[in-house]
Chain A
Amino acid sequence: MKQPILKPMLRACTLFAMLAGASLQAQAAFSITTTKDASDKVVSYTIDTNAGLVFKVRGFPTDTSTTSPGDLSSIVYNGVEYQDAGRGTQVNSGYDYIYTNQTGVSVKAEVVDANGNALPVTLPAAGQSAITAASDYIKVTVSTVGSSTGVLTHYYLVRKNDARIYMGTHFTAEPTGQALVRFIARLRIAALPNGTPTGTPGGLVVNADPNRPPSWPDDLRNTNGAIESGDIFGIATGPNAGETRSKHYSNMRLKDWTHIGGTGPNVGVWIVRDNNEGGSGGPFYRSLLNQITSTNNEVTYIVNYGEGQTEGFRFNRLNAYTMTFNNGAAPGPVDTSWFSKMNLLGYVPPTARGNVFVPAIYGRNAAFPYTVGFANGTAQYWADAASNDGHVNADGMIPGTYTMTVYKNELAVATAQVDVTAGTTNIVPAVTIGADPLAHNDDPRGKWHLAKGDPSLTQALFRIGEWDGTPRELLNGDKLTVMHPSDVRMSSWFDTASAANPYVVGSSKPGLHMPAFQWKGLATAPNGPVTVNFTLKPSQISANSTYRFRIGITTAQAGGRPQINVNNWTSPFVGSQSGDVFPPGQPSTRTMTVGTYRARNITYDYTIPASALVAGQNTLKVWVVSGSTSTSSWLTPAVSFDAMDLVKIN
């Protein structure tokens, strides 16, 4: 009896499902919906990508300190809202306070066809919404208004059937309201609760101690208050007690990553970067990139940043980056060739760019990677040197004259000027890396210099560490980018290379016994000199010989610089004599406690009289001098070591 009734019901259900599907299909058409409030102001532009991603650009709401016109106020992917309702996804803290002299923000939405023809969207009546169908592309332009009209322009660009928000930020002057240029996606932690895998910026750190659970270094959940400057936090209890967390520890060398993001169950939200030609700091620059809090997963794309910065900021470039949504897998490269149709400020098409080819680099040490950087006032690029012959292809550069720098790992060991011409490949002469000269003109008194070759090519009586522009091979060097120096996972900074337990040349190991950093003074730890014992044989000592001790540093804080003592002889130091010339300044921002060791590589030189050395055991001490003090122990004057060696010159 029930069979005849069931069958029509099943048919009806099937029909309903089909109709419902068709209805959803209709709603998902590639379009932009403009909504006005009762006062006839556009409050939002809702863009449906027709690919499962629907997002909303704030129009003209009554903004707050955390929201602004131009924000992304809603990001829905596969039916899940990712945007924090209380805050915008925006440049800095909102487009309405990029510059102190701006009076507002303009937001303009257009649809663009395949030929690049743009049409404004349909405007509804007050209190209504109007849908504008788009054929190929949608473009939303956000721009600062007032005395700073057009100084910063941000684009949201969408391509039909593509679950990505393509973006570009162009500015002609550095922000004055909220400093620097950062696009911050503030995504609900409930929807995007996790960081990213090991090996990515902010990626999972797996501890050597199996009792310490893996963690994201930028995950502030379960922390117990700041331990430094309000942005570095400690964990007081639990299996990770004693560890530190900060957004700063999400850093990674710029050349080593292509995307940043957050993940959740079967979802990943990513920002894929362009070539960063409009950024500053070069291929090894590190900055914060992510922060996980109890409310938000903040994915931060740094267009330019000040911390540990060694270059001026660059303007008038279209800084392009793309927010990508997927199932959590690493996003692939994005195609931005269609930007040529979008009439974007600062866009330079491939045809207006040129290439450089370096046929070979000689004098390399096969144990190190080599990178070639190109920089001038308006753009920066880099490319890897091939491991076999060192050849380099640097493509897609904006025409101009660049300083080309060859880096042995991160140490600049050769430079040259190269020209880039649109539409051509400039084949420049092969580069030969020579030994860093022992005589130089940087400092008339010879107390310091900037490497102009590879210091390793000069034989040394002993050498501690590798001349590669990093302290990574020294004690704690493997950890200092992802945790604070006080973190319990660090090896003790002060138990080795000390007076009680000196570094012994020939038996001590750099990675175990020579600390990567040295501080002038710490309130809670000894600040004794780094102590090195080394032995010389009679044949190695000659009254007529000159001995040079070289210390390479990668950065310093609070004016720190090294001074040495060998047996009974104490060196002068930079600043110890009237008229001393100081080396280029290190960044005034924090570096060594916020996960970076990189700023300016400087070599300090100490000429040791032969009479100071003895056949047999010698003791060398290194300590930090500075006229500065700090009330925060780990911010006391300090240096980050690259390498140190003793050279017998003649």
Chain B
Amino acid sequence: MQLKSIFLTLAAVFAIGTSAGAQAGVISAAASNVPVDICDTCTVSSTLNVAEHGRILDVNALVDITHGWDADLVLSLSHGGVTVLLSNRQGGSGGANYTGTVFDDEADIAIDAGYAYAPYTGSFRPEEALAAFIGHDVFGDWTLMVTDSEAGDFGTIDGWGITAEVPEPASLALFALAALGLGGVRRRRR
């Protein structure tokens, strides 16, 4: 009996450890309704749908935009009633395009940092933290909105997408196993 409870305890500890070390899965989705023209001095949007469920642990957004004057543009991302400002008229004088731009709360450089340059290739922290989406279900529509705030230049949303970290189903199962194991140990001690 004592041996059995040790095994159960070890299983629980292992399961918790495993669950903590490998719980994140990744869900990626890319917009299919692109390119979207960015008309001069108006707001356009593009929506993608995520068909899977999962509680968001972290989320990044990848954006490709062709535009001759980034400083005209305001970029924001909406999902589940939450809107996050990604970039607000960045680009200075003559900065053009967002090329392979990843908005990532963990990036070293903020999109509004003095040494962030168009076409913003690489990873940048958005103006507002994407952490606002943490805890939400990744399932459903995600909308990228682009506002062109000044006349004279136009462009296109060439592509965009999101990558979200969510708990893996397998790790949920391990967590459940751990809970069962601990429960078993407790029952035997009683």
A residues bordering B, Cβ < 8 Å?
A: 365-367, 435, 454-463, 466-467, 504-507, 534-540, 646
Residues in chain B near residue A540, CB distance under 8 A: 71, 93
Contact residue among A457, A459, A466, A538 (Cβ-Cβ distance under 8 Å from B92): A459
Complex CA–CA separation, A535 to B115 (angstroms): 20
Residues in chain B near residue A504, CB distance under 8 A: 94
Contact residue among B93, B113, B150 (Cβ-Cβ distance under 8 Å from A462): B93
Q: Contacts A457-B115, A458-B114 hold; do A463 and B150 have CB atoms under 8 A apart?
A: no
B128 within 8 A of A: no
A462 touches B114 (CB 8 A): no
Contact residue among B93, B117, B152 (Cβ-Cβ distance under 8 Å from A646): B93
A466 → chain B closest CB, angstroms: 8
B162 within 8 A of A: no
Per-residue contact bits, chain B 49-76, to A (CB 8 Å; 1 contact, 0 not): 0000000000000000000110110000
Complex CA–CA separation, A457 to B116 (angstroms): 9
B92 touches A462 (CB 8 A): yes
Per-residue contact bits, chain B 77-107, to A (CB 8 Å; 1 contact, 0 not): 0000000000000001111100000000000
Complex CA–CA separation, A466 to B72 (angstroms): 24
A463 touches B72 (CB 8 A): no
A538 touches B93 (CB 8 A): no
A537 touches B71 (CB 8 A): yes
Give 9 pairs: A residue, B residue, CB < 8 Å, sorted on A: A365-B108, A454-B114, A459-B112, A459-B113, A463-B117, A506-B96, A507-B94, A536-B93, A538-B150
A536 nearest in chain B by CB position: B93
B150 touches A539 (CB 8 A): yes
B68 nearest in chain A by CB position: A506
Contact residue among B69, B112, B114, B149 (Cβ-Cβ distance under 8 Å from A435): B114
A505 touches B114 (CB 8 A): no
Complex CA–CA separation, A459 to B114 (angstroms): 4
Complex CA–CA separation, A461 to B149 (angstroms): 17
Residues in chain A near residue B150, CB distance under 8 A: 537-539
B13 within 8 A of A: no
Complex CA–CA separation, A646 to B93 (angstroms): 9
Give B105-132 interface residues, CB cut-off 8 Å to A.
108-109, 112-115, 117
Interface centre among A366, A463, A506, A507 (most CB of B within 10 A): A506
B114 touches A537 (CB 8 A): no
Contact residue among A467, A536, A537 (Cβ-Cβ distance under 8 Å from B72): A537
Complex CA–CA separation, A536 to B108 (angstroms): 29
Interface size in chain B (residues, C-beta < 8 A): 19
Q: Contacts A365-B109, A537-B152, A539-B150 hold; do A460 and B92 have CB atoms under 8 A apart?
A: yes
Residues in chain B near residue A456, CB distance under 8 A: 113-115
Residues in chain B near residue A538, CB distance under 8 A: 150
Known: A460-B114, A537-B71, A539-B149. 7 other contacts (CB 8 A): A365-B115, A454-B114, A463-B92, A467-B115, A506-B95, A535-B94, A538-B150
A457 touches B71 (CB 8 A): no
Complex CA–CA separation, A505 to B112 (angstroms): 19
Residues in chain A near residue B113, CB distance under 8 A: 456-457, 459
Interface SS of chain B: loop
Complex CA–CA separation, A109 to B189 (angstroms): 85
B126 → chain A closest CB, angstroms: 16
Interface centre among B72, B96, B115, B150 (most CB of A within 10 A): B115
B96 nearest in chain A by CB position: A506
Complex CA–CA separation, A459 to B127 (angstroms): 14
B94 touches A534 (CB 8 A): yes
Residues in chain B near residue A537, CB distance under 8 A: 69, 71-72, 93, 150, 152
B93 touches A506 (CB 8 A): yes
Per-residue contact bits, chain B 116-158, to A (CB 8 Å; 1 contact, 0 not): 0100000000000000000000000000000001101000000
Complex CA–CA separation, A461 to B114 (angstroms): 10
A539 nearest in chain B by CB position: B150
Complex CA–CA separation, A537 to B91 (angstroms): 12
Residues in chain B near residue A460, CB distance under 8 A: 92, 114
Residues in chain A near residue B112, CB distance under 8 A: 459
A461 touches B93 (CB 8 A): yes
B94 touches A457 (CB 8 A): no
Complex CA–CA separation, A458 to B114 (angstroms): 5
Residues in chain B near residue A461, CB distance under 8 A: 92-93
A646 → chain B closest CB, angstroms: 7
A457 nearest in chain B by CB position: B114
B109 touches A462 (CB 8 A): no
Residues in chain A near residue B114, CB distance under 8 A: 435, 454-460
B112 nearest in chain A by CB position: A459
Complex CA–CA separation, A167 to B108 (angstroms): 46
B72 nearest in chain A by CB position: A537
Complex CA–CA separation, A463 to B95 (angstroms): 10
Residues in chain B near residue A457, CB distance under 8 A: 113-115
Complex CA–CA separation, A117 to B186 (angstroms): 76
Residues in chain B near residue A367, CB distance under 8 A: 115
Q: Across the A-B interface, give the 5 residue pairs with the lowest CB-CB distance, nearest first.
A: A506-B94, A456-B115, A505-B94, A461-B93, A462-B93
Q: Contacts A458-B114, A537-B150 hold; do A366 and B93 have CB atoms under 8 A apart?
A: no
A616 nearest in chain B by CB position: B152
Contact residue among A366, A458, A462, A466 (Cβ-Cβ distance under 8 Å from B94): A462
Per-residue contact bits, chain B 19-54, to A (CB 8 Å; 1 contact, 0 not): 000000000000000000000000000000000000
Complex CA–CA separation, A536 to B92 (angstroms): 9
A205 → chain B closest CB, angstroms: 31
B109 touches A535 (CB 8 A): no
Complex CA–CA separation, A477 to B2 (angstroms): 75
Complex CA–CA separation, A459 to B117 (angstroms): 10
Interface centre among B94, B108, B109 (most CB of A within 10 A): B94
